[in-house]
Amino acid sequence: MNEKEILFREESYAIIGACFEVYKEKGCGFHETIYEECLTIEFGARGIPFIEQEELPMDYKGHPLKQKFFVDYLCYEKIVIELKAVPELNDHHRGQVHSYLKASNLRLGLLVNFGHYPGLEYERIVR
């Protein structure tokens, strides 16, 4: 895959760069909410546009549901960010991001794991 084929290349690199900075400062071992608060500060410092805990309304066959999804972040109004603080990512985590993408009708999600040692773990998930 060449650079032109990477969906939202510049934006996703900026987001992952902010995540690496948070991991560099905090390391692994904290609860997800700690990383979320740190990332909010880092996104702000880097001028990355984001909405924290963005609500994704759900429907079934055109009928709105009472239940809603909340993504950790929606960045640049087009990239879903899901944070984890677990030893390693699994298919359940990936499925969660796929569900967010389907519910939001967006194309790119970043699954970011701060609990991995010895470094930040992340995956790009494209719908």
pLDDT at 27: 96
> Is the entire prediction scored with pTM above 0.95?
no
Query: Has residue 3 got a pLDDT over 90?
Result: no
Of 70, 74, 63, 72, the residue nearest 107 (C-alpha): 74
Q: For residue 4, what pLDDT band results from cuts at 50, 70 and 90?
A: low
For the chain, helix, strand, coil in percent to 5 are 40, 35, 30
Cα gap 108→6, rounded to integer Å? 10
Tens-digit pLDDT profile for residues 10-30: 999 999 999 999 999 999 999
Domains delineated in the chain:
3-126 (3.40.960)
Tens-digit pLDDT profile for residues 46-100: 999 999 999 988 889 999 999 888 999 999 999 999 999 999 999 999 999 999 9
